[in-house]
């Protein structure tokens, strides 16, 4: 049978065999956790604690400010020792609440299991999701309660759970589907109830047939949940491409999935959500793949938010060879960071270590007009034309050519025979277009 997919995209060497067979292990709980005040898209949190305060596991320590925001919680019990500026895996400097672990693992009073989760109304569910600080676990970290909030005139008829994990090396979602399939299905049920829709889809790429079997078994009871097997192609896990592959609907330019009546969530988000709804546990931990050729023992970890990268790397047996690049997230869309002294945040799906050998750089040549980038662009853009405009600083023209629709998947860079860093030029154009919009007119 021909498997559903989208137009464009590339076939990558997955390298998933490094960790896909390894069961998720619990990472050592560190002596200190560093919890950044901003772990989501939107307004950063305001700290609720001061230096010297005693906090308990699961206690809210940062309150969300504004609608598009999510609160943060202590991932260990202990004492707040400092609130200071630290490097954030997103490529910025963010104030972090540093908690000294007292190893008592005491739960906060606010963490109480909900007696009867099946009787919760959509409004109550959304309130629980907001309080638990649930954000998208795929990497974009969009606060979930915002996604589920009803919008006037828009009807959601499908919820898609994204278990595609198309980035090379990453296997957290794969392992999660194998190990926590019941939680994922339960989480999907709560999401469907929160938004009031009848159809649920769990999308999995064809390279994870074992996960498909497990998920099908877990969802056998639920009649309105289907498992869709998609073709193995990058960026299959991108929201708009996923919606097209699963439903045949195209999200309009500049629009949200809501415009076509779909909500997309990561499978990890669903499992975190199920924990929050059933057990009252806020978002204080996540799964992280530590992999790449530069690490001794690649592994999947269940990590407390705020654990330093260096702790996980130490647990993985340290570096191998000459480390050249540390990437927070997947190698295609992740952010290169310059130090391992960074905390794991809600959006950190992986830590990939590359050595000098993989980090090849070749000189940029002139565009040979082969149009390979146009062939692979899943957003139907012309990367080469956008770059030409970006080099001329013709931001308005670039905007007219829908530069803002670029999903920054880097497929064009991957295929470019002239080694042009297309994505960086397009990103620059997007930056300039946004800056021009932010500037007051006149």
If one asks whether residue 419 binds other proteins (CB under 8 A), the answer comes out as no
Identity of the residue, 121 or 431, whose beta carbon is nearer to other proteins in the bound complex: 431
- Strand order across the 199-205 sheet: 225-230, 199-205, 158-163, 262-266
- Selected binder of other proteins within 335, 404, 414, 418 (CB under 8 A): 335
- Compute how many other C-beta atoms are within 10 angstroms of the C-beta atom of residue 118: 11
- Residues in the interface with other proteins (CB under 8 A) total 18
Q: Which residues pair with 263 in a beta bridge?
A: 159
Rounded Cα distance, 96 and 47, in Å:
9
User: In the bound complex, what is the minimum distance in angstroms from residue 428's beta carbon to other proteins?
Assistant: 5
If one asks whether residue 425 binds other proteins (CB under 8 A), the answer comes out as yes
Give the DSSP letter string of 206-226: GGGHHHHHHHHHHTSS-TTEE
Rounded Cα distance, 277 and 130, in Å:
11
- Selected binder of other proteins within 25, 255, 338, 419 (CB under 8 A): 338
Identity of the residue, 15 or 430, whose beta carbon is nearer to other proteins in the bound complex: 430
- Selected binder of other proteins within 356, 392, 400, 437 (CB under 8 A): 392
What's the length of the chain?
Answer: 442
User: In the bound complex, what is the minimum distance in angstroms from residue 200's beta carbon to other proteins?
Assistant: 37
If one asks whether residue 388 binds other proteins (CB under 8 A), the answer comes out as no
Identity of the residue, 3 or 392, whose beta carbon is nearer to other proteins in the bound complex: 392
User: Angle at Cα 104 formed by Cα 103 and Cα 105, nearest 5°?
Assistant: 90
Q: Which residues contact 196 (CB under 8 A, 6 or more apart)?
A: 122, 150, 156
Identity of the residue, 6 or 354, whose beta carbon is nearer to other proteins in the bound complex: 354
- Selected binder of other proteins within 59, 87, 228, 243 (CB under 8 A): 87
- Selected binder of other proteins within 93, 209, 252, 437 (CB under 8 A): 93
What residues numbered 357-386 form the site for other proteins, per CB under 8 A? 361
User: In the bound complex, what is the minimum distance in angstroms from residue 240's beta carbon to other proteins?
Assistant: 23
User: In the bound complex, what is the minimum distance in angstroms from residue 40's beta carbon to other proteins?
Assistant: 18
Joined tokens for residue 33:
């956790």
- Strand order across the 46-47 sheet: 46-47, 60-63, 72-73
Rounded Cα distance, 334 and 325, in Å:
11
Say what the alpha-carbon torsion angle 385, 387, 389, 393 is, to the nearest 10 degrees. 170
User: In the bound complex, what is the minimum distance in angstroms from residue 424's beta carbon to other proteins?
Assistant: 4
If one asks whether residue 431 binds other proteins (CB under 8 A), the answer comes out as yes
If one asks whether residue 432 binds other proteins (CB under 8 A), the answer comes out as yes
Give the DSSP letter string of 24-44: PEEPPPPSEEEEES--SSSSP
If one asks whether residue 310 binds other proteins (CB under 8 A), the answer comes out as no
Contact 359, 325 (CB under 8 A): yes
Contact 187, 272 (CB under 8 A): yes
Stretch that binds other proteins, among 13-21, 95-103, 255-263, 423-431 (CB under 8 A): 423-431
- Selected binder of other proteins within 122, 297, 427, 433 (CB under 8 A): 427
Q: Which residues bind other proteins (CB under 8 A)?
A: 87, 91-93, 335-339, 361, 392, 421, 424-425, 427-428, 431-432
């Amino acid at each position: 049978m021909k498997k559903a997919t989208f137009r464009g995209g590339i076939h990558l060497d997955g390298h998933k065999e490094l960790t896909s067979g390894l069961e998720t292990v619990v990472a050592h709980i560190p002596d200190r956790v560093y919890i950044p005040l901003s772990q989501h898209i939107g307004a950063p949190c305001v700290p609720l604690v001061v230096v010297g305060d005693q906090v308990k596991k699961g206690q809210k320590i940062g309150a969300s400010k504004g609608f598009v925001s999510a609160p943060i919680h202590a991932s260990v019990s202990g004492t707040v020792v400092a609130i200071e500026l630290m490097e954030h895996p997103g490529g910025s400097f963010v104030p972090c609440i540093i908690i000294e672990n007292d190893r008592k693992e005491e739960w906060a009073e606010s963490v109480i299991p909900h007696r009867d989760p099946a009787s919760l109304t959509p409004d109550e569910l959304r309130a629980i999701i907001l309080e638990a600080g649930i954000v998208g676990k795929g990497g974009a970290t969009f606060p979930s309660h915002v996604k589920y909030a009803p919008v006037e005139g828009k009807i959601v008829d499908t919820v898609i759970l994204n278990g595609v994990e198309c980035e090379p090396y990453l296997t957290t979602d794969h392992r999660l589907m194998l190990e926590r399939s019941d939680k994922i299905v339960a989480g999907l049920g709560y999401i469907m109830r929160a938004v009031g829709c009848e159809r649920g889809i769990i999308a999995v790429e064809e390279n994870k047939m074992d996960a498909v079997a497990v998920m099908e078994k877990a969802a056998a009871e639920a009649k309105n949940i289907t498992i869709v097997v998609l073709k193995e192609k990058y960026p299959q896990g991108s929201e708009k491409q996923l919606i097209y592959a699963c439903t045949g609907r195209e999200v309009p330019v500049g629009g949200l999935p809501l415009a076509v009546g779909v909500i997309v969530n990561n499978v990890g988000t669903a499992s975190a959500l199920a924990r929050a709804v059933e057990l009252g546990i806020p978002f204080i931990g996540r799964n992280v793949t530590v992999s790449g050729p530069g690490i001794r023992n690649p592994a999947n970890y269940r990590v407390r938010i705020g654990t330093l990268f260096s702790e996980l790397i130490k647990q993985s047996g340290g570096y191998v060879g000459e480390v050249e690049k540390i990437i927070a997230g997947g190698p295609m869309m992740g952010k290169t960071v310059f130090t391992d002294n960074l905390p794991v945040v809600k959006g950190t799906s992986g830590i990939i270590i590359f050595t000098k050998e993989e980090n090849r750089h070749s000189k940029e040549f002139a565009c040979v007009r082969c149009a390979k980038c146009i062939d692979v662009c899943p957003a139907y853009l012309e990367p080469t034309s956008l770059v030409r405009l970006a080099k001329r600083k013709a931001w308005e023209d670039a905007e007219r050519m829908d530069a803002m629709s670029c999903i920054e998947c880097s497929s064009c860079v991957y295929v470019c025979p002239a080694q042009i860093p297309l994505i960086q030029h397009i990103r620059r154009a997007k930056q300039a277009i946004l800056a021009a919009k932010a500037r007051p007119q006149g």
